[in-house]
Amino acid sequence: MRPVAPVPTMPGASLRPIAPLPAGIRSRFVDGVNGLRMHVLEAGASGRKRPLLLLLHGFPELAYSWRKVMGPLADAGFHVVAPDQRGYGLTSGWDADYDGDVGSFRMWNIVRDAIGLVHALGRRQVTAVIGHDFGSLAAAWCALIRPDVFPALAMMSAPFPGPPELPFDLAEGDDRRSQGAGLFGAIPHEALASLPRPRKHYQAYYARRAAATDLRDCPQGVHAFLRAYFHMKSADWPHNRPVPLRDWSAEEFARLPEYYVMDLDKNMAETVAAHMPSEAEIAACRWLPDAELAVYSEAFRRTGFQGGLNWYRCALEPRYAAELEVFSGRTIDVPSVFIAGAADWGPLQKPGDLDRMRSSACTRMLGCHFVPGAGHWVQQEQPEATVRLLLDFLNRAD
């Protein structure tokens, strides 16, 4: 029998007393969500006439990642719900085996999870779906596939370049062919490995069997690994000065920071360990103090990382991208906005994705914002600015 993520004995069990939830945020479980018992955090009154916001986190995060914006959004009149997504936190019912049901983590089923949660809450639609990192792509697919359920979209850190394209007009000699790539495009993996300084792309590494063990059983421990990982991708790390990549060549990809394009002989835990912040830097980190980081480290020590890594495995698998080619040529036509940190490489890590989102993939973009003083974790590093931008968008969307 394949192992599944264990169910804790009581709601909120992974939230340490030293880092309680902010006032006004509640923890509970919602059963029957596409085969999951889904753990959610929520804020604001839950009456069915109150406008609902659905917040989707990325990797390696939790519903807890939204803790700093949920209260202010609730104070503005919204019922705010943030789930631990499939593979994460206190949500259970997903297959934790590398050789198990990896297909349940493909984007099509992640969208089904989101719709299932909305319906389990007794709603037919949300006011907006808001996503960060991998959750940004999930939110974008929600809005593209079911705009009736998700009539407004806010993306953070990861731009949506549009659905994969089908080959067109082959009978008349057009020589474009399907490249057999996954959702992330044709990353030059072999060329990266052949560079004078051999490299590998982090997404390919995350798809490997060893990755989950590397992270969970790393010598420095899960807590120290996550501290270094969050630090390196934040505005606190002085080397985050993003610039657009000119093309999809290995030489251009090698300009990305080591947490995106790693040395071929190192795993992710080893990569970030070399940039572990000092004790003074950790003490000075107001956006993620150690007590709050402990919520993440305790959760991932319990579940491991395989659930979150399975999202990458599916995104890299051509057959799962192929099933989404049915949406080729389709655009996101609901009001949308993009928010990222000014020190975040995420929007620029895939050449052309940001421009395609703005020019063609989203036809009703109401803004594209880069927040000073934030890296990849924009809603945690600069929550006040993030809330202002979200509320402005929600006031303008119709």
Residue 246, number of CB atoms within 10 A of its CB: 10
Which tokens in the block code for residue 15?
Answer: 């939230």
Q: How many Å apart are CA 282 and CA 290, to the nearest integer?
A: 7
Does the pLDDT at position 2 exceed 70? Answer: no
Would you say 339 and 154 are in contact if contact means Cβ atoms under 8 Å apart?
A: yes
Q: Please say which residue of 310, 342, 371 terminates a domain.
A: 310
Average pLDDT of the segment spanning 85-108 = 96
In this structure, are 135 and 61 located in the same domain? yes
Residue 8 maps to a domain: no
Q: How many Å apart are CA 33 and CA 94, to the nearest integer?
A: 11
The C-alpha R_g of the chain, in whole angstroms, comes to 20
Interstrand relation of 128-132 and 52-56 (parallel, antiparallel or unpaired) = parallel
In this structure, are 108 and 238 located in the same domain? no
End-to-end CA separation in angstroms for the chain: 48
In this structure, are 175 and 161 located in the same domain? no
Would you say 150 and 128 are in contact if contact means Cβ atoms under 8 Å apart?
A: yes
β-partners of residue 336 are 153, 365
Classified as helix, coil or strand, 59 is coil
Residue 141 maps to a domain: yes
- Give the pLDDT of residue 47: 83
In this structure, are 43 and 147 located in the same domain? yes
Q: Please say which residue of 280, 310, 340 terminates a domain.
A: 310
Comparing CA positions, the residue from 108, 115, 103, 173 lying closest to residue 326 is: 108
In this structure, are 34 and 105 located in the same domain? yes
Complete DSSP assignment for 274-326:
TTPPPHHHHHH-SSS-HHHHHHHHHHHHHH-SHHHHHHHHHHH-HHHHHGGGG
Residue 245 maps to a domain: yes
Q: At residue 51, what are phi and psi to the nearest 5 degrees? A: -60, 135
What is the distance of C-alpha 253 from the center of its chain?
21
Average pLDDT score over the chain = 92
Residue 317 maps to a domain: no
In this structure, are 216 and 347 located in the same domain? no
- Cβ contacts of 387 within 8 Å, gap of 6 or more: 69, 72, 73
Number of domains in the chain: 2
What CATH code is carried by the domain that includes residue 144?
3.40.50.1820
Residue 270 maps to a domain: yes
In this structure, are 148 and 259 located in the same domain? no
In this structure, are 47 and 154 located in the same domain? yes
- Give the pLDDT of residue 179: 52
In this structure, are 244 and 133 located in the same domain? no
Residue 291 maps to a domain: yes
Does the pLDDT at position 91 exceed 90? Answer: yes
Classified as helix, coil or strand, 212 is helix
- Give the pLDDT of residue 180: 58
Q: How confident is the model at residue 17 (pLDDT cuts 50, 70, 90)?
A: very low
Q: How many Å apart are CA 137 and CA 139, to the nearest integer?
A: 5
Q: How many Å apart are CA 129 and CA 142, to the nearest integer?
A: 8
In this structure, are 152 and 200 located in the same domain? no
Q: Please say which residue of 279, 310, 341 terminates a domain.
A: 310
Residue 16 maps to a domain: no
Residue 315 maps to a domain: no
Average pLDDT of the segment spanning 310-319 = 94
H or E element that contains 144: helix 134-145
- Structural domain for 37, as ranges: 25-166+329-396
Average pLDDT of the segment spanning 31-45 = 96
Would you say 360 and 162 are in contact if contact means Cβ atoms under 8 Å apart?
A: yes
Does the pLDDT at position 4 exceed 60? Answer: no
SS3 content of the chain, % helix, strand, coil (to 5): 40, 15, 45
- Give the pLDDT of residue 48: 84
Average pLDDT of the segment spanning 351-363 = 96
Lowest mean pLDDT among 19-23, 192-196, 208-212, 312-316: 19-23
Q: How confident is the model at residue 49 (pLDDT cuts 50, 70, 90)?
A: confident
**Cis ω on the peptide bond leading into residue 17 (within 30° of 0)?**
no
In this structure, are 133 and 65 located in the same domain? yes
In this structure, are 207 and 135 located in the same domain? no
**pTM of model > 0.75:** yes
Q: How many Å apart are CA 83 and CA 241, to the nearest integer?
A: 32
